Structure formats: structure tokens, C-alpha cells
Structure 1
Amino acid sequence: MSDEESNLFRTSIGDTRPLPDNGKTFFPPHLPWPDLRRNRTDTNPLPADALSDYIPQELTETGEEFFFQRPGVAPLTMKRLRRGHWGIQAELDLHGMTSDEARASLIEFLDECKQLGLRCVRIIHGKGLSSRNREPVLKLKTASWLMQRDEVLAFCQARPMDGGSGAVIVLLKVARR
């Protein structure tokens, strides 16, 4: 610090005097940051691509369009996704796959999309017309799996021209470069 800066500082603080020295020094405790992702004693954590088949209650079929958006995703973003604001950059078709095959394909597809920096993709899960009870098994599982992936910001049912109730449009995080 120059003499001029030192004098300016002294004049700005005015008439002050130092606190008496009691010989004690106070250091705030150093607290570690919490590790919310996993328990530190866990020696065998789940792999990053382990996706549960659990279907949350909010995804059960109500006859209405279903959608998902992470906390912090603006309503305008969801509106734009529904209206097809972003062009579809890639597509995955899960027709005819078993649940395990579909899960593995979805994981591989999302990893590749993340690596390529894709923003908006379509996943075709089908309407379930060929399934045992004519129910869309992969539809609900796909939605559940997408909700478990951190790179998925939001998804919604595709517009009729993009697959309707047999597909979802997914908005992905783009990695900062």
C-alpha cells in the first residue's frame, strides 16, 4: 500500500483506538462441507447409471398428458418445450425392447447426448398397443428413468406430429465449455 493510500485510510477511519489485547485468538471452527450424495462409510456405492424401475405416484396414468420439470426450470421453458421451440437433435426408439434392454439403451443414448452437447431429443417409447395388457409399460418406466438422470431438465409428451402419446421430448442440460 502506498503512503497516500495509507494516509487516506487513516483519515477515513477517524479517531479510533485498538482493542485491548487479552492474549486470546479466536479462530472460527473449520466445518467440512456436507456430503449429501452418499454416506461416507458406504464402500460399495451404486454405479452412476443404476436406474430404478420404481414409478412415482405422480406418473400413474390419469389420461392426461404427463410432464416433468426440475425445480428451477422456468415455466416459460416448459411452455417452449411443449410448443417445439427447440429442434429435435437426436432420437431413440425403444419399440420392441424389453425393460432391461430399454434401460441400457436409454443410459447409453443419454451419455452420448451429453458428450455431444445435445439440447433437445425425442425418445419413442410406444403406446403399448402390442404389450400384454395393451398398457404402455415403457412409457412410465422411461419417464421414471428420465427423472433420475441429472442431465434431464424437463420432458413432456410429444406433439401429435412428433409422436404424440407414444414419445417424449426431453430437454437436456448443456455442459459449459
Structure 2
Amino acid sequence: MARRRPLRPEEEELWKAVARTAKPMHAPVFRPKGPEVPAEFPASPVVAHDPPRIAPFRLGEKPAVPRPQTAPIAGGVQMDAKAFGKLTRGKLAPEARIDLHGMTLAEAHPELIRFILNAHSTGLRLVLVITGKGKPGTDFGPMPRRTGIIRQQVPHWLRQPPCGQAILQVTEAHLRHGGSGALYVYLRRSR
């Protein structure tokens, strides 16, 4: 890379005249400090890309953004927002519950369908399906073995016919009703 030669006096005067008329194309991201910045350039505003600051927090205050305790299993919120808020905070008590612990897939699927359809036909709105979290076990085989297979299958079964038409919302249960080992199933009004 070639070194620059010092400017002659007439070149320096021409450079100063051009620098006074120049307008920046973009706002500079940073402004270097030191002797390499010519004094004839006007000071430009520094554009800072600071991360958003967290508001100061005092003991006893609630956080500015509430953290959701539970999330819908599929899709968005289909039910009334006020009722959904009560549901996620565990303020609504389930009217009936089914425990699928210890069942095989072949036993659990028809039991779940029977339970959901009976609850819907009797006019219940909120039921609790306890699936359990699944046991983590030692896996010595060449293929990894999934744990909690009923827990994984129940949301799919609830979306499929004949249960899908009777259900308005499926969401993870509040900690007091089983947390991630249970599901709230909010049923549609029976006609």
C-alpha cells in the first residue's frame, strides 16, 4: 500500500473548501477520536446502538412485563381472554379429571375419547387430563427411546375427530393442577 504524501498548501486549501460543502450520505455509526480526524469536519452526532436498558426495579414491585405461566398447546387463544387468564393462573377449578398414568397407548386413547365426549355431553366446560411427565430411563438401545409417549400423543388425539369438535382450547395446566404433566381441556358449550 502506497504512503500518502503530505498535501501542498494549494491542495490543502482546496481540500478545506470541498470539506466545508460536503454533506454526509449516511449518519455515521461511530466517530473516531484522535489525530486522524481532520479538524475542518464538523462534529456529527454519534449514533449509538445501545441495548435497551432495563428499568430499575425496587423490592416489592411487580415486573414491568408479566411472564406467562402457561402457553396454549396449539394455535392461539380460542376462548374468552378473561377466562383464559383465570385458567392460566390456576383460578378455575377443573370440573372433572382423568388420570392416564400407567396406561398403554391402546388403553389411554379410547379412555380419553370416552371421557371427553361424556364430559361434553353432560355440559362440563373445564376438564383436566393428567398425562404425567414420563420417566427418564436408561437407554441402551441403538435407537433413542422416547419418554412420556402418552404426554406427547394426547394433544394430537384431542385435535383429531371425534374429540376435536368438542374442544375449544387445550393448554398446559397450572402448577397446582399438575403443571407440565397435565393439560386443561376447555370444552365448547353443548348444543
Cα distance between partner residues in 2 of 1:82 and 1:108: 25
- Identify the residue that residue 146 of structure 1 maps to in structure 2: 158
- TM-score for the superposition, normalised by structure 2: 0.52
CA offsets per residue over residues 81-106 of structure 1, 9 Å max, x none?
21234321000000011111110000
| Aligned CA distance change for structure 1 residues 130 and 91 (closer, same or farther; 3 Å) | farther
Residue type at the aligned position of 2:184: I
CA offsets per residue over residues 13-44 of structure 1, 9 Å max, x none?
xxxxxxxxxxxxxxxxxxxxxxxxxxxxxxxx
Cα distance between partner residues in 2 of 1:76 and 1:68: 19
Of stretches 81-90 and 140-149 in structure 1, the one that deviates more from structure 2 is 81-90
CA offsets per residue over residues 100-156 of structure 1, 9 Å max, x none?
111000011011101211000000001111677462111110011112211111111
| Aligned CA distance change for structure 1 residues 65 and 74 (closer, same or farther; 3 Å) | closer
Which of 114, 124, 131 is 2:130 aligned to?
124
SS of 2:101's equivalent? Answer: coil
- Identify the residue that residue 171 of structure 1 maps to in structure 2: 186
Is contact 1:69–1:153 with CA below 8 Å preserved after alignment?
A: no
Cα distance between partner residues in 2 of 1:69 and 1:85: 22
- Identify the residue that residue 8 of structure 2 maps to in structure 1: none
How many residues align? The count is 113
| Aligned CA distance change for structure 1 residues 173 and 108 (closer, same or farther; 3 Å) | same
- Identify the residue that residue 95 of structure 2 maps to in structure 1: 89
Q: Are 2:119 and 1:113 equivalent residues in the alignment?
A: yes
The offset of 1:160, in angstroms, is 1.1
Cα distance between partner residues in 2 of 1:71 and 1:95: 28
The offset of 1:67, in angstroms, is 1.8
Residue type at the aligned position of 1:168: L
Cα distance between partner residues in 1 of 2:109 and 2:150: 9
Is contact 1:78–1:154 with CA below 8 Å preserved after alignment?
A: no
Cα distance between partner residues in 2 of 1:171 and 1:164: 16
Cα distance between partner residues in 2 of 1:106 and 1:92: 8
Larger radius of gyration: 2
Cα distance between partner residues in 2 of 1:79 and 1:71: 10
* Runs (5+) with no aligned partner, structure 1: 1-63
Cα distance between partner residues in 2 of 1:78 and 1:68: 14
Identity of aligned residues (%): 33
Of stretches 100-109 and 132-141 in structure 1, the one that deviates more from structure 2 is 132-141
- TM-score for the superposition, normalised by structure 1: 0.56
- Identify the residue that residue 38 of structure 1 maps to in structure 2: none
User: What are the residue-to-residue correspondences of 1:1-177 with 2, within 5 Å?
Assistant: 67-69=73-75, 72-129=78-135, 133=145, 135-148=147-160, 149-176=164-191
**Larger relative contact order (CA 8 Å, sep ≥ 6):** 1
Task: Output the aligned Cα RMSD.
Answer: 2.4
| Aligned CA distance change for structure 1 residues 97 and 84 (closer, same or farther; 3 Å) | same
